[in-house]
Chains A and B, each alone.
Chain A
């Protein structure tokens, strides 16, 4: 087995922090190198957990859209957004996930005006998704 994504990012961050940044010192480029190291550490922190949660969240998003009531589907904005979803593309494809989120945005807007339980379901999904995507600041190596 090779390095996983987290190990790769952490190793790149360590190299940037311990090899590149010190050599460049307190200069603009040195501090920029330090920033890149910090960003890599942040991205690595919890990466595998974030990735592992994605399939379930995507399935929940698809179910939410599939349950859209006929009145919502008759709305031009919702209808157009749902029509963008390509049934042949895997939902984990980034572009397809964007189309699903675009449809949710349209459905949520309709629900805010017309269907409070559906609006609440959209808000609950968005909070769970944003919680899953949120990055935590790790304790940086000294």
Chain B
């Protein structure tokens, strides 16, 4: 990944790029020597973005907390293997992405996730949407909940890789090349994943999209 792309992931402005990268490298080297304070500083540099990423995938604070911890513990344990071939930010996001992929694979191996109202996170999400729009009448609020539930169900119909690629591109706004690096694959594969995900979502949500057209 280019420096620019790394900084994009780290959320740093390009002007300060060189200084930030140098400081971060120093922190990583100290953390590799077992300096916990340095590792804590690295956590605080990146953890908001990591938490936002896992939150978007799992949608519930409790699960997000678990994945956040798993990602940073894995990073802590594997820090000795980091060889500065990419930026630390990219490496850390790759660890977190893999944790998300593993989680989705585990979910896939379990029984189909319920998407009934009141049984998982997306209903909470839609409550938030409804609360945020006081002009929404009860009928519209109900409709918004239904749409949200259908979107969540459609997203759960994607394979883990398609889901992660789609979340990273559509909701996190990362470029396909960066997504390829995070998922340990090529830009072309990421592009194909995004296309397949879009096709599946279009099929699953076709009736809702047509209803929107009629509105």
Are A and B a genuine interacting pair, yes or no? no
